[in-house]
Amino acid sequence: MRHSQPLKDPNREKRIYAFRTVIALLVVAIMLAALIVRMYDLQVENHEHFQTLSDKNRMQLRSVSPTRGLIYDRNGVLLADNQPIFSLVVVPEQVESLEQMYLQVAAIVSLSADEITSFKRRLKRSRRPYQSVVLKSNLDETEIARVEVRRHELEGVEVQAELARYYPLAEATSHSLGYVGRINEKELKSLDVKNYSATRYVGKLGVEKFYESELHGTVGFQTVEANASNRVLRVLESVAPEPGKNLYLHLDARLQLRIMDMLKGKRAAVVAIEPSSGGVLALVSTPSYDPNLFVTGIDHASYSALRDSLDIPLFNRALRGQYPPGSTIKPIVGLGGLDVGATTKEYSIMDYGRYQLKNDKRIYRDWKRQGHGRMDLFGAIEESCDVYFYELAFNMGVDEMSRYLGFFGFGSNQSLDISEARSGILPDRDWKRAIRGLPWFPGDSLNMGIGQGFMLSTPLQLATATAVLANRGKWVAPRLLRETGDGSIVLSQRPDTGSDVELNKPENWEYIVDTMEAVMHSKKGTARGSGRKAAYRIAGKTGTAQVVGIAQGEKYDAEALAERHRDHALYIGFAPADDPKIAVAVIVENGGGGSSTAAPIGRAVFDEWLVNLPLEEGGVLDES
Amino acid sequence: MSRDFQRHMPGMERHLGRRASIFYRLHLDPVMLGLLIILCFVGLFILYSASGQSWEHVEKQAIRFALAFTVMFVFAQFDPVFFKRWSPFLFVMGVAALAGVMFFGTGAKGAQRWLQIPGLPRFQPSEFMKLVVPMMVAWYLSKRYLPPSLKSVAGALVLIMIPVFMIVKQPDLGTSILIAAAGLFVLLFAGISWKIVGAFVATLAAFAPIMWTFVMRDYQKQRVLTFLDPESDPLGSGWNIIQSKTAIGSGGWWGKGWLEGTQSQLNFLPESHTDFIIAVCAEEFGFVGVLGLLFLYLLIVLRGLHIAVKAQDSYSRLLAGSLILTFFVYVFVNIGMVSGLLPVVGVPLPLVSYGGTSVVTLMSAFGVMMSIHTHRTMISR
C-alpha cells in the first residue's frame, strides 16, 4: 500500500455498502416490477389474444373425405368398388434433402423418372405445412414390407393407405362406367372447394362423371388437436362424412362380358336397350382398355401405347363413333313414307338394279347389281332394296324424312345420363346450307333414303331408335341408371324431352314390324341366316355402310389399308317381336356385310338375353 | 494459528448456538439452503412437464443438482480468506484458459466455448470466470481505499474487460453480459461515484454503434433485429419469441394446469426445457404461478443481500453482493428475453432450466456465500 493512498475506513465502507445495498434493492424491485408488469400485460391484459393464437396453433379443422358410392349392375354385381391402396407419401418438411431421399427410396422400391417428375409437380401445388405428398402409388405387398423395414432410414417418408376405385370387370366396363382419376389443376378450379377439400379422385368419364355429385357424398369435418409437426393427437369434435350414394345400373354384367367375348378382335360396338324402360342393358365398345390404370395415374409409356394404337381403344365407339346408318334406317323411312302418303303398302316398282333422276345423268345403283325385280315396300325392307327407297326418298323429300328420323332420336343426344354421347348428323336443307353452303339437291335425298350421304348416327342412337320401333312409337330415352342405393330414382337426370311417335296411321306399326320379322325369318330376308331356329321371333334390319373415312382415317398404314376400306357392317333388331324385351344395335367397323357379320352378333345377343341367361338363373336357383 | 484460535473461540459458539448450530458447524446457511432446495424441486416439477414428461431428463437434472449441492458444500468449507488469497491466481488461470479456448477451443454452431485438456473432463472456462471475475475485482478493490478512486475504477475495469472481451469473441454474449455485470456490481457496491457511473453509461451508449459494426456477429445482430420486430420472420428467427409469448399469454391468471400446456406439450414452444422453460411455467401455472416463482427468487436475493450486508470484511461483502445480484440478473435477463422484453441471449433460468454447467456454477457461488456467512470471527477483520 502506497503512502499517497488514504487509510482504509471500515466504518465508512460499511455505510457506503449499506446505502448501495438499498439502491441495489430498489433496482431489483424496479426490475422485478418490470417483469411482473410485462407478465401481467401478456397473461391478463392480452390473455384472450394469445389464447386464440394458442388454439389456432393446436386446433385444426380437417376435412374427412366421404366414401365414394359403389356402382352395381342390375343384379347387384359390383362394377366399381373402393379398395385400399398403399402409397408412398412424403412430408417435405421432414426431409432434409429431396435428392438424397429419391436415391434412398429408389434403392428400396422402383422409382421412375416419371414418378419423380409428377411428385415435383404435386410439390408445387399449395398445401398446408406438413401435409404429405404422394411419391409413388399402388405399392404391392413386397414393396410395403421393404419400406417398413427401412423406415428408420427414411425420415419423412411413410406408407399411407387410402381407398381408391377399383373396377373388377376392367376392360368390360370402361366405356360404360368411365373411371375416376386424381383431381387435376383444372378440375380443382371448378369443383366445390369445401366439399372436395379431402377428396383426391373425381369422375373423369361415363357414369363416374355424370353422377359425380351423387357418388361423391358430403365431406365430413374433424376438429383435431395437432402438434407442431402436424401429427394428429386427438379428435376434439367431428362431423362424419356422408358417403356417396350407391348406384344400380340397368347394365347386366353377364351380358356385357359375353358381348365383349363376341366382339373380341373386332373394332365394334354393341348397344342393347330394354325397350320398356330405355335402360341400357349392355354398352360395349372394342377394343377397350383397363380403367384401373387411370385411377392413380397412368404412366407415360402405357398412355402413349393406348393413345397411339391404330385401333384407338380409348375411343368410345358406342357413344362417340358416328357412322352412316346404311339400310338400318329403311324401316323408319318406310314408316314415314306410308304415314305421309309418299307410298302405299300396295305400290310396287320394277327394280333393274339402277335408278336415275330426271335431268340427271348420275346413276344410283342397287347393292344387287341385277336388281330385285318387282318390289313393294314389304319386299324392299325384307330384301333391303335400294331402288325402291331411292324413289321413296325422292317422293318423300328431305323435310319429311328428316322429321320422321328426328322422332326416333337421330340428330341429337337424347340420352338421359350419357353426356359423352355424340349427336350424329340428321341432315336437312338448313343444315346443308349452313355447313356446306349449298342448297339441298334431290340426289342428296336419294342417298339419305338408304342411310348414306350426310347422315351419321351413333350405335346408341340406332339402339334407341330400335327400342322406339319395338315400342311401336312409345318414346324411351336411353339411360344407364336404374336406381340409387337409397331406393330413390335419381333426380339429376336430364328431363326426358322426347315424345311418343304419333302416326297418322298407327296400324302401320305392325306392318313395319312384320317387314322386319321377314328380314329375319322369311326365305328372302337378308338376315335369314341369323334368324334361323330361333325360339322366338326377331324383328331386325341389316345395314352396310360405305366407309367414307371417319376420323381415324389418317392413321391407316399400308398393311391395314385394304382391311380398313371394307364396309362397316350394321344391324339393328329387337326380340321377341311381339313382346320386345331387348333392342340391339351392332356395328362392326370394316366388317363387310351387315347380314354376314353384324346380324349374327345381334342374334347371339338375343340368345344370351332371352334364352341362356334366364336358363342359367333357373339353374342357379336349382342348385341352391 | 491465531486465526484458528479466533474462529473457534468458545464464546462465539455459544453466541451462535441458538441458531441451528449443526448447520453452522457444517458451514451451511439453513435459510438459503431451504430456499434453494425448494427452488430445485419446483424446477424439477416444471422440467418434467417441459421436457415432454421425460423421467430421463428429470433424473439427469436431479443428479446434477446432487453434484452441484456437493460442490456448494465443499466450497462452503473454505474460509473466505482462502478465496481472497487465491483470487489473483485463479484469475490468471482463468484468463489463460480463455486464451486456450481462443486457440484450441472446441464447440458447436460456430462458437468456441469449450476447452479439452487431456486427462481432464471437457469444461467451459467462461463458466469458471463467472465466479472468478467478481472475486478478482473484489480482491483488487478490497486492497484499496473505498470508495474507489478513478484510478482504482480504471484498474478494475481493465480486470473486467479482459475476460469479457475474450468471451464476446467466442462468441457468447449471454455469458459475457453476466460476467461484466458481476464485475461491475463489485464496483457499484464498493461505492463507485455516480458521476463515473453516468459517464460510463454515456460512453457505452456512444460505443453501441461501434459494437454493432465491429464486434457483434451476424446471428447476434439477427437476434436484436428479431427482438425489435419478431413478426418480420414469424417462421424463422421470430418463431421462438412468438411462440413463447403465445405460451405465456395463453396461460392467463391460473394457467392451463400441469402437463396441460398445449404450446409446450405439442412442441410449438422451442427450447421449452432449457432457456424457454419460464414460458412453460407461465402457460401451465398462469400469472399466479409466475408471481410465486418470482417471489421465491426474491426471497433468495433478499437472503443473499442479508448475507452480504452481514459480511465482516470488504472482500466478502463485495463478493457476496455481486454474486447475489448476478443471480438476479440471470432471472431478469432470462424472463425478460422469453417474454419479449429483451433480445434473445442464451441465459438459462437459474436452477429451473435444464442443463448442468450453470447449475454447478450457481451452486458454487452459493457455496462461497455460505462460506462467507458461516466463517465469522468475533472481531471484524
User: In angstroms, what separates the C-alpha of A127 from chain B's closest C-alpha?
Assistant: 16
Question: How far is residue A404's CA from residue A341's CA, in Å, rounded to a whole number?
Answer: 13
The partner residue sitting opposite A50, judged by closest CB among B249, B301, B341, is B249
Nearest CA-CA partner of A273 in A517, A471, A486: A471
- Contact: B249, A43; criterion CB under 8 Å: yes
* Greater pLDDT, B208 or B248: B248
Judged against a pLDDT cut of 80, whether residue A125 lies above it is answered with no
pLDDT at A546: 81
Instruction: Indicate if the pLDDT at residue B308 is higher than 50.
Output: yes
Q: How many CB atoms lie within 10 A of CB B260?
A: 12
For the purposes of burial, counting CB atoms within 10 Å of the CB of A11, is it exposed (0-12), middle (13-18) or buried (19 or more)? exposed
Q: Which residue has the higher pLDDT, A57 or B300?
A: B300
**Annotated catalytic, A327?**
yes
Q: Which residues of chain B lie closer than 8 angstroms to A3, CB-CB?
A: none
On whether the CB atoms of residues B152 and B159 are closer than 8 A, the answer is no
Tell me which DSSP letter residue A456 carries.
B
Q: Which residues of B touch A128 (CB under 8 A)?
A: none
Region of residue A177 (left: phi > 0; alpha: psi -120 to 50; beta: else) = alpha
The answer, yes or no, to whether residue A6 has pLDDT greater than 90, is no
Residue B230: the pLDDT is 67
Residue B207's pLDDT band (cuts 50, 70, 90): confident
Query: Of all residues in chain A, what percent are helix, strand and coil, respectively (each to 5)?
Result: 40, 20, 40
pLDDT over 90 at A29, yes or no: yes
Q: Mean pLDDT, to the nearest integer, of B35-57?
A: 93
Nearest CB partner across the interface for A21, out of B286, B294, B309: B309
Mutation pick from B140, B246, B377 vs chain A, by most beta carbons of A within 10 Å, is B246
- State the pLDDT at residue A139: 87
ipTM (interface predicted TM): 0.89
Range 220-249 of B in CB contact (< 8 A) with A: 243, 245-249
Question: CB under 8 Å to A315, separation ≥6 — which residues?
Answer: A285, A321, A552
Q: What is the pLDDT of residues A312-364, one digit of tens each?
A: 999 999 999 999 999 999 999 999 999 999 999 999 999 998 898 888 888 88
Percent of chain A with pLDDT over 70: 93
For residue A110, the model assigns a pLDDT of 86
Q: Could you please report the per-residue DSSP string of A89-109?
A: EE-GGG-S-HHHHHHHHHTTS
pLDDT value at residue A551: 42
Taking only the tens place, the pLDDT of each residue in B156-201 is: 999 999 999 998 888 788 888 889 999 999 999 998 888 888 988 8
A387-416 pLDDT, tens digit per residue, is: 999 999 999 999 999 999 999 999 998 888
Note whether B146 contacts A12, CB cutoff 8 Å.
yes
Note if the pTM is more than 0.90.
Answer: no
Contact flag A50-B266 (C-beta cutoff 8 Å)? no
Which 3 state secondary structure label does DSSP give B346?
coil
Element of type H or E holding A397 = helix A386-407
Please write down the long-range contacts of B98-105, taking CB distance under 8 Å and 24 or more positions apart: B98/B125, B98/B126, B98/B129, B98/B163, B98/B166, B98/B167, B99/B166, B100/B125, B101/B125, B101/B126, B101/B166, B101/B170, B102/B166, B102/B169, B102/B170, B105/B170
A10 and B380 within 8 Å at the Cβ level: the answer is yes
Per-residue pLDDT band at B2 (split at 50, 70, 90): very low
Q: Dihedral, CA atoms, B111, B117, B119, B122, nearest 10 degrees?
A: -20
Output Rg (C-alpha) for chain A, integer angstroms. 37
Distances (CA, A) of A551 to A308, A321, A537, B262: 14, 9, 37, 65
Q: For residues A128-147, give the mean pLDDT.
A: 82
B85-98 per-position pLDDT tens digit: 999 999 999 999 99
Of the residues A137, A176, A285, A327, which is catalytic?
Answer: A327
* Non-local CB neighbours of A445 within 8 Å, separated by 6+ positions: A393, A394, A396, A397, A398, A401
**Predicted local distance difference test score (pLDDT) of residue A202:** 93
pLDDT band at B235 (very low <50, low <70, confident <90, very high): low
Least confident window among A39-48, A436-445, B370-379: B370-379
State mean pLDDT over A432-448: 91
Instruction: Identify the band that residue B237 occupies on the pLDDT scale cut at 50, 70 and 90.
Output: low
The predicted-structure confidence for A514-564, as pLDDT tens digits, reads as follows 999 999 999 999 999 999 999 999 999 999 988 754 344 444 444 555 677
Nearest to B298 among A10, A13, A32 (CB): A32
User: Hey, CA dihedral for A224, A226, A230, A233, is it positive or negative?
Assistant: negative
Chain B closest CA to A254's CA: distance in Å?
56
* Rounded-to-integer distance, Cα B299 and Cα A398, Å: 110
**pLDDT of A623 higher than 70:** no
Mean pLDDT of A268-276: 96
pLDDT band at residue B124, thresholds of 50, 70 and 90? confident
- Pairwise CB contact (< 8 Å): B249 & A8: no
Q: Among A246-255, A299-308, A571-580, name the one with the lowest average pLDDT.
A: A299-308
Among B136, B174, B173, which residue's Cα sits nearest to residue B155?
A: B136
From residue A74, alpha-carbon distances to A206, A245, A605 in Å are 17, 15, 17
Contact B266 A228 (CB under 8 A): yes
Contact present, A177 and A208 (Cβ < 8 Å):
yes
What is the Cα–Cα distance from A220 to A194, expressed in whole angstroms? 10
Model confidence band, residue A259 (pLDDT cutoffs 50, 70, 90): very high
- Average pLDDT (A577-588) is 95
Model confidence at B139: pLDDT above 50: yes
Give the DSSP H or E segment for A137: none
Q: In degrees, to the nearest 5, what angle opens at C-alpha A206 toward C-alphas A203 and A207?
A: 75
Three-class DSSP category at B267: coil
Q: What is the sign of the dihedral through the CA atoms of B316, B321, B327 and B329?
A: negative
Query: What is the overall mean pLDDT for chain B?
Result: 86
Q: pLDDT grade, residue A231 (50/70/90)?
A: confident
User: What is the helix, strand, coil percentage profile of chain B, to 5?
Assistant: 70, 0, 30
Kind and range of the H or E element at A586?
A: strand A582-588
C-alpha cell of residue B352: 429451473
B338-357 pLDDT, tens digit per residue, is: 998 888 888 899 999 998 78
Name the minimum distance, in Å, from the CA of A86 to any CA of chain B.
29
DSSP secondary structure letters along A466-485: HHHHHTTT-----BSEEEET
pLDDT-derived band at A1 (thresholds 50, 70, 90) equals very low
Over residues A106-116, the pLDDT tens digits come to 888 888 888 88
- Which residues in chain B have their CB less than 8 angstroms from residue A30's CB? none
pLDDT in tens, A463-490: 999 999 999 999 999 999 988 877 665 5
Q: Which residues pair with A268 in a beta bridge?
A: A286, A588
Kindly give the interhelix angle for A10-40 and B173-190, rounded to the nearest 10 degrees. Answer: 140
Q: According to the model, what pLDDT value does residue B157 have?
A: 92
Q: At which residue does the C-alpha cell 480463455 appear?
A: B98
Question: Which helix (H) or strand (E) covers residue A486, if one does?
Answer: none
Pick the residue from chain B with its C-alpha nearest to A24: B325
